[in-house]
């Protein structure tokens, strides 16, 4: 049974329940884009971002100019990080094998992994230009084999955000748009006169972007229903409160509603971490955001042992779970519900967010109970096929299928099987509903 050393001042709302005002606003914008295409997109871009260029899509010369103006170290760092993402995504893809088995003589069943034809990647701007989102959504799609990746990012005070454009270009985006918000999501999903539609939407965004993806789900696929960034740390007496505090605040600065939770078996670590968070907030440039997140959504729980800590961690089903214990790999066998695990003091969530190579688009708001995060497989459709080239097997399966179909009163299904039993097994057709009876010789060959 846990003891609460710090309780949150506020609680996260019902998972994936949207603000009614946001729902209505997004629905109106999407309906307008559906009806009026580019004209509607341009109006909303002007209204929300004061951005109406001749074309929202950047040309090759514009991209080249942006790339040439960036310092070489920026290009090198982006390239390094994308190489890590690409390598891990490729390892995932290589593990996804096509399958074909012969279940009975001449009956072959199989599946193969087919990439979606086109995906859209939203790279947020606003408070932070999240270049890492380009790595996760564009690089991974390309490794999966997606033929067309359309990437978009909001303008930065009236100009294309250079580092976001560079990240999208280096990642392999086939089209780069400077367009943000619901108008960007709507244009990619629904298509306009100048922007062809995609089949899958990926990437994080604000509440309006998240709601647009929710409303469009079904017309297109989406990666995840997104909520605020979350971090949960499990620590024992070996943990360093200085590092624990820094890791909590690294995620608290994402937004004022980001939960940051510590579960520890050590009262000393718990209380020292609380004090250390307050000290580190004093000179943190993002304090106006991080302090609100810590005050309203920060929690510290004291538990009896690690078994209880892991069980409590599973109940949270947090997006990011750090294990700062003497034996961090225990969590691999004792935990089930998390977006991603970060094992040991030498590892941190920030590495996952920015540089290490695993995908940082992860489930939030408890969704880790039923799904993992974005990965190369999300861009692939696992489709099945079946083939029979043995007459006896076709006839025998047809007899079983006919009986099974008639149990369910599906006479049409049964007759589709019957004709094969007749043609390949010599059975006599007895379709009594309309009294059609012939011997097998009359069945066309």
Are residues 146 and 47 located together in one domain of the fold? yes
Q: What is the pLDDT of residue 440?
A: 44
Q: Which of 176, 204, 223 is the last residue of a domain?
A: 223
Are residues 51 and 114 located together in one domain of the fold? yes
Handedness of CA 45, 51, 52, 54 (dihedral sign): negative
Taking residues 30-41, report their average pLDDT: 98
Q: Which of 199, 189, 223 is nearest to 117 (CA)?
A: 199
Does residue 376 surpass a pLDDT of 90?
yes
Indicate the SS3 state at residue 131. helix
145-204 tens-digit pLDDT: 999 999 999 998 889 999 999 999 999 999 999 999 999 999 999 999 999 999 999 999
Catalytic: 319? Answer: yes
Does residue 350 surpass a pLDDT of 50?
yes
pLDDT confidence of 130, banded at 50, 70, 90? confident
Q: Which pair of tokens denotes residue 387?
A: 């083939």
Does residue 416 surpass a pLDDT of 80?
yes
Q: Which pair of tokens denotes residue 198?
A: 């995609």
Indicate the SS3 state at residue 122. strand
Domain that holds residue 53: 20-223
Q: What is the pLDDT of residue 127?
A: 62
pLDDT confidence of 226, banded at 50, 70, 90? confident
C-alpha to C-alpha distance for 119 and 142, rounded to whole angstroms: 10
CA-based R_g, the chain, Å = 27
| Cα–Cα separations (whole angstroms), residue 360 to 230, 291, 347, 375 | 12, 23, 14, 9
Residues contributing to the annotated binding site for NAD(+): 122, 183, 206
Residue 70 neighbours by CB under 8 Å, 6+ apart: 162, 163, 166
Catalytic residue among 175, 253, 319, 345: 319
C-alpha to C-alpha distance for 44 and 52, rounded to whole angstroms: 9
272-306 tens-digit pLDDT: 999 999 999 999 999 999 999 999 999 999 999 99
C-alpha to C-alpha distance for 316 and 338, rounded to whole angstroms: 8
Indicate the SS3 state at residue 261. strand
- Is 380 contained in some domain? no
Are residues 245 and 357 located together in one domain of the fold? yes
Catalytic: 320? Answer: yes
Compute the residue count for the chain. 445
Per cent of the chain over pLDDT 90 is 89
CA angle, 117 then 119 then 124, to 5°: 170
Query: What is the CATH classification number for the domain harbouring 263?
Result: 3.40.50.1980
Q: Which of 86, 213, 80, 217 is nearest to 145 (CA)?
A: 86
Does residue 87 surpass a pLDDT of 50?
yes
Q: Which of 143, 130, 223, 131 is nearest to 185 (CA)?
A: 223
- Is 9 contained in some domain? no
Q: Which of 217, 229, 203 is nearest to 359 (CA)?
A: 203
DSSP symbol at 220: B
Q: Which of 173, 188, 223 is the last residue of a domain?
A: 223
Q: What is the pLDDT of residue 13?
A: 47
Residues contributing to the annotated binding site for Zn(2+): 251, 254, 353, 413
Q: What is the pLDDT of residue 11?
A: 61
Taking residues 63-67, report their average pLDDT: 97
pLDDT confidence of 444, banded at 50, 70, 90? very low
Q: What is the pLDDT of residue 158?
A: 87
Residues contributing to the annotated binding site for substrate: 229, 251, 254, 320, 353, 408, 413
- Is 6 contained in some domain? no
pLDDT confidence of 414, banded at 50, 70, 90? very high
Are residues 312 and 353 located together in one domain of the fold? yes
Q: What is the pLDDT of residue 437?
A: 45
Are residues 323 and 198 located together in one domain of the fold? no
DSSP string for residues in 354-366: HTSSS------TT
DSSP string for residues in 148-166: EEEEEE--BTTB--HHHHH
C-alpha to C-alpha distance for 374 and 136, rounded to whole angstroms: 8
Are residues 214 and 240 located together in one domain of the fold? no
Catalytic residue among 253, 320, 345, 360: 320
C-alpha to C-alpha distance for 247 and 239, rounded to whole angstroms: 12
Q: 276, 242 in Cβ contact below 8 A?
A: yes
C-alpha to C-alpha distance for 202 and 139, rounded to whole angstroms: 12
Q: In 10 A of CB 119, how many CB atoms?
A: 30
Domain count, the chain: 3
Q: Which of 195, 223, 251 is the last residue of a domain?
A: 223
Are residues 53 and 139 located together in one domain of the fold? yes
Q: Which of 440, 238, 213 is nearest to 326 (CA)?
A: 238
Residues contributing to the annotated binding site: 122, 183, 206, 229, 251, 254, 320, 353, 408, 413
């Amino acid at each position: 049974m846990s003891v609460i050393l710090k309780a949150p001042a506020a609680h996260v709302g019902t998972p994936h329940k949207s603000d009614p005002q946001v729902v209505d606003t997004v629905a109106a914008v999407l309906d307008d884009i559906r009806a009026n295409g580019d004209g509607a997109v341009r109006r909303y871009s002007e209204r929300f971002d004061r951005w109406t260029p001749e074309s929202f899509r950047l040309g090759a010369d514009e991209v080249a100019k942006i790339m040439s103006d960036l310092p070489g170290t920026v290009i090198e760092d982006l390239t390094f990080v994308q190489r890590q993402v690409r390598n891990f995504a490729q390892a995932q893809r290589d593990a996804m094998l096509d399958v074909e088995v012969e279940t009975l003589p001449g009956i072959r069943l199989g599946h193969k992994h087919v990439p979606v034809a086109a995906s859209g990647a939203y790279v947020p701007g606003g408070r932070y230009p999240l270049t890492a989102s380009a790595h996760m959504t564009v690089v991974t799609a390309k490794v999966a084999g997606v033929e067309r990746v359309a990437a978009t990012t909001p303008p930065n005070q009236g100009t294309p955000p250079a580092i976001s454009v560079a990240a999208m270009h280096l990642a392999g985006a086939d089209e780069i748009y400077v367009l943000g918000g619901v108008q960007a999501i709507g244009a990619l999903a629904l298509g306009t006169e100048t922007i062809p539609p995609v089949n899958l939407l990926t990437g994080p965004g604000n509440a309006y972007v998240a709601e647009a993806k929710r409303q469009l789900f079904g017309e297109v696929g989406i990666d995840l229903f997104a909520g605020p960034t979350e971090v949960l740390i499990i620590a024992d007496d070996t943990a360093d409160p200085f590092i624990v505090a820094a890791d909590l605040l690294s995620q608290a600065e994402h937004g004022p509603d980001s939960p940051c939770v510590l579960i520890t078996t050590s009262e000393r670590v718990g209380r020292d971490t609380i004090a250390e968070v307050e000290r580190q907030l004093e000179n943190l440039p993002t304090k106006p955001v991080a302090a609100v997140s810590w005050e309203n959504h920060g929690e510290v729980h004291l538990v009896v042992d690690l078994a209880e800590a892991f069980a409590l961690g599973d109940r949270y089903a947090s997006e990011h779970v750090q294990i700062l214990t003497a034996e961090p790999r225990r969590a691999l066998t004792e935990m089930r519900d998390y977006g991603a695990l970060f094992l040991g003091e030498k590892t941190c969530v920030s590495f996952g967010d920015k540089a290490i190579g695993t995908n940082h688009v992860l489930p939030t708001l408890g969704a880790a109970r039923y799904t993992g995060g974005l990965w190369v497989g999300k861009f692939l459709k696992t489709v099945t096929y079946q083939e029979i080239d043995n007459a006896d097997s076709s006839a025998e399966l047809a007899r079983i299928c006919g009986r099974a179909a008639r149990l369910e009163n599906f006479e049409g299904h049964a007759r589709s099987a019957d004709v094969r039993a007749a043609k390949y097994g010599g059975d006599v057709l007895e379709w009594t509903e309309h009294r059609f009876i012939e011997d097998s010789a009359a069945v066309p060959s």
